[in-house]
Amino acid sequence: MKKNKFFIYLLLLLPAFLVGSCTPEQDDYFEEPSSTRLANLMSTTRKALMDSERGWLFEVFPGLKGQEFGGFVYTTKFDSLTVSVRSEIAGDPTYEETSYYKMTNEAGAAIIFDTGNHLIHILSEGTSSNYQAFGGDIEFVIDSVGVDIIKVHGARSGNTCYFRRLTMSAEDYVKAVDAIQADFIYGNYYGTIGGKVIAVGFNLDSNQIYINPDTTQTVGEISTSFVYTNQGIRFYGPVTINGITVSELVFDYDAGTLTGTGSAGNSFVLNGQLPKGYRKFADYEEGAYTLTYSSASGRPLTKAVTLTKSSGSSFSMTGLFANSPSTEVKLTYNKADGALYWNAQAVGTENENTVWTCPWVYGSTLTWNTDAGMKTVWNGNETNPVYTWENNGKTSYAFDSFIMWTLNSAGKSAGEYKGTTYKVNNSSRIIKLVSLTKN
């Protein structure tokens, strides 16, 4: 009861405080009205955004309950009315969408991307199956404006985001980010920070990093979200590990390392471990191989082939067809799982039809869908590498074989190949692939 009386007493005194604060002798706490301050902040922000020659990197962290989806990379180029946007989300660094934006002071000085820009709105606009989307924002409240960094926060999510002045073209930046993502395949990292051995793991589906700061004892895990950069990854905010505070890590695919530098200049290196069975493209050897598969009766059959590295991350397999030994079958390297993919592909023409190696579920379904096919699985032996074949998992069918098939000029099926040029051991069927062995 005493507590209630005390609050009532304060309420009774409140009018007196208010009257006192409005007397002419009371100076304003701020030198200028809040409306003027907001107008100046919006003007300063717009000018800064427009003045960057190459535009701004915009690192966005959406979230319904934090930063559970990690960060997303955008680039933005502003004029007085519109903004041109690129993003890793598009899957194409050349793709750009331009839309209107505006500055507002309804809930503090803010930037609103309020007209249709799919790249930005995809994080905030729900669907029937995902009505809350990613908890993203289209309105960003301005916190501070610097020469090279503008700090904002999402009006909806509350998450801090940064505009960073670009020093390279927007297209090149997004392209570099895409390359980092494609190469970021190491499962776990280990190293020493602050005199203690640490372990690092990732959830690459949601851009989260998990750090065990001392592997010699049971300690609390450190976790945060991250966004990809053109050189590696940057954390949502600085993280302190055994007294070393770090904000970003530089990735080196060839060395398999993440390198960091603490705020005090302390540097460290984390060494990555590849997933079991993973093989780097550089570790696949050119030369003579034996392709093993089966006959219709289950008897093992072999074919001598030659693998030669071609442009990009792929091999040309020749020697498969006895009557056309120079015909190339392309085996494409996939960085995501370190495997060589033999997918559906055209290998030649005959009688106005195109001849294909088509993935085939033996005795059943075949397809010329170029996503479908089989892939290699390395046995882990550096001295005597053997690569077994399995379905690549890119379709709903469990392909285990290939069949030589023809398509007419309209791209329609013209039946199983009946010629002689593109046959393997005098057959149009490569049944139940087994292995590819280095000779």
* 209: nearest Cα among 194, 191, 227, 193: 227
Distances (CA, A) of 414 to 273, 323, 353, 365, 426: 48, 22, 8, 15, 20
Domain boundary among 227, 247, 273: 273
Sign of CA dihedral 72, 47, 166, 115: positive
75: exposed, middle or buried (Cβ count in 10 Å: 0-12, 13-18, 19+): buried
Same domain, 133 and 217: no
60 domain residue, yes or no? yes
Residue partners of 39: CB distance under 8 A and separation at least 6: 105
Same domain, 144 and 79: yes
* 400: nearest Cα among 437, 346, 363: 363
Spatial separation of the C-alpha atoms in residues 194 and 197, rounded to whole Å: 8
Same domain, 104 and 201: no
Spatial separation of the C-alpha atoms in residues 57 and 353, rounded to whole Å: 49
Same domain, 77 and 159: yes
121-135 average pLDDT score: 78
Could you report how far apart the first and last alpha carbons of the chain are, in Å?
A: 91
pLDDT higher than 80, residue 172: yes
Structural domain boundaries, residue 263: 184-273
Band the pLDDT of 322: cuts 50, 70, 90: very high
Q: What is the pLDDT of residue 106?
A: 83
134 domain residue, yes or no? yes
- pTM here is 0.72
Sign of CA dihedral 272, 275, 277, 278: negative
Q: What is the pLDDT of residue 249?
A: 98
> Residues of the chain with pLDDT > 90: what percent?
81
Q: What is the pLDDT of residue 275?
A: 82
Q: What is the pLDDT of residue 20?
A: 38
pLDDT higher than 50, residue 64: yes
Band the pLDDT of 7: cuts 50, 70, 90: very low
pLDDT higher than 70, residue 15: no
pLDDT higher than 50, residue 285: yes
Q: What is the pLDDT of residue 25?
A: 41
Question: What are 69-99's pLDDT values in tens digits?
Answer: 999 999 999 999 999 999 999 999 999 999 9
Question: What are 306-317's pLDDT values in tens digits?
Answer: 999 997 789 999
Band the pLDDT of 127: cuts 50, 70, 90: low
76 and 85 Cβ atoms separated by less than 8 Å: yes
Instruction: Dig out the tokens for 82 from the structure.
Output: 């519109």
Domain boundary among 158, 175, 192: 175
Beta bridge partners of 251: 258
Q: Is 73 helix (H, G, I), strand (E, B) or coil?
A: strand
Same domain, 54 and 108: yes
pLDDT higher than 70, residue 14: no
Same domain, 165 and 199: no
Same domain, 144 and 265: no
Q: What is the pLDDT of residue 439?
A: 94
Indicate the number of domains in the chain.
Answer: 3
Q: What is the pLDDT of residue 35?
A: 83
Domain boundary among 255, 273, 291: 273
155 domain residue, yes or no? yes
Query: For all residues of the chain together, what is the average pLDDT?
Result: 91
Q: What is the pLDDT of residue 9?
A: 30
Same domain, 409 and 369: yes
pLDDT higher than 50, residue 2: no
325-340 average pLDDT score: 94
pLDDT higher than 50, residue 162: yes
Same domain, 310 and 417: yes
Band the pLDDT of 144: cuts 50, 70, 90: very high
26 domain residue, yes or no? no
Phi and psi, residue 15, nearest 5°: -60, -40
pLDDT higher than 60, residue 26: no
pLDDT higher than 80, residue 327: yes
23 domain residue, yes or no? no
Question: What are 223-244's pLDDT values in tens digits?
Answer: 999 999 999 999 999 999 999 9
213 domain residue, yes or no? yes
